A and B are shown apart, each in its own frame.
Chain A
Amino acid sequence: MGDVNQAGRARESCMAKAMSKRAHGQLIPISLTINGALSEIEVEPHELLLDVVRERLGLTGAKRSCDVQVCGACTVLLDGRPVSSCTLLAFEARGREVLTIEGLAQNGKLHPLQDAFIEHGGFQCGFCTPGMILTAKTLLDENPDPTEEEVIHFMQGNICRCTGYKKIIESITAAAKKMKKK
Chain B
Amino acid sequence: MLKRFRLEEPGSVEEAAELLARYGESAKVYAGGTELLLAMKEGLIRYERLINIKQIPDLDQIKLGDGVLRIGALSTHRSLAGSAPLKERLPAFVRMEENVANIRVREVGTIGGNLCFAEPHADPGTLLLVLGAKLTAEKASARREIPIEKFFVGAYETCLEEDEILTGIEMPLAPARSSLAYLKFGYLERPSVGVAVFLALDGEGKSVTDARVAVGCVGPTPKRIEEAESLLKGKGLQDASQALGRAGEVAARASDAISDLHGSQDYKEHIVQVLLKRTFQQAYGRCQSGGESQGELHG
Contact = CB atoms under 8 A, between A and B. Distances in A.
Contacts of A157: 101-105
**6 A-B pairs with the lowest CB-CB distances in the bound complex, closest first:** A157-B102, A45-B7, A46-B2, A84-B104, A70-B189, A87-B37
Interface residues on B, range: 20 to 34
B38 A45 contact: no
B5 A45 contact: yes
B108 A88 contact: yes
Interface stretch (A31-39, A75-83, A166-174): A75-83
Contacts of B5: 45-46
Contact of A26 (B3, B7, B38, B102): B7
A52 B98 CA distance: 30
A67 interface: yes
A64 to B, nearest CB: 11
Nearest to A87: B37
Contacts of B3: 46
Nearest to A158: B102
Interface of A: 24-26, 28, 44-48, 67-70, 72, 75, 78, 81-84, 87-89, 91, 135, 138, 153-154, 156-158
B143 interface: no
A84 B105 contact: yes
A70 B101 CA distance: 8
Contacts of A154: 103
Interface centre among B4, B33, B103, B107 (most CB of A within 10 A): B103
B50 interface: yes
Interface of B: 2-7, 33-34, 37-38, 41, 50, 78, 98, 101-105, 107-108, 189
Secondary structure of the B contact surface, majority rule: mixed
Contacts of B33: 87-89
B102 A70 contact: yes
A84 B107 CA distance: 10
Contacts of B41: 67, 87
B82 to A, nearest CB: 10
A69 B101 contact: yes
B34 A87 contact: yes
B104 A83 contact: yes
Contacts of A25: 4
B77 to A, nearest CB: 12
B105 A69 contact: yes
A46 B33 CA distance: 12
6 contacts: A26-B6, A28-B7, A45-B50, A46-B4, A89-B37, A91-B7
B14 to A, nearest CB: 22
A101 B6 CA distance: 31
Nearest to A88: B108
Interface centre among A45, A78, A88 (most CB of B within 10 A): A45
A84 to B, nearest CB: 5
A69 B2 contact: no
B7 A87 contact: no
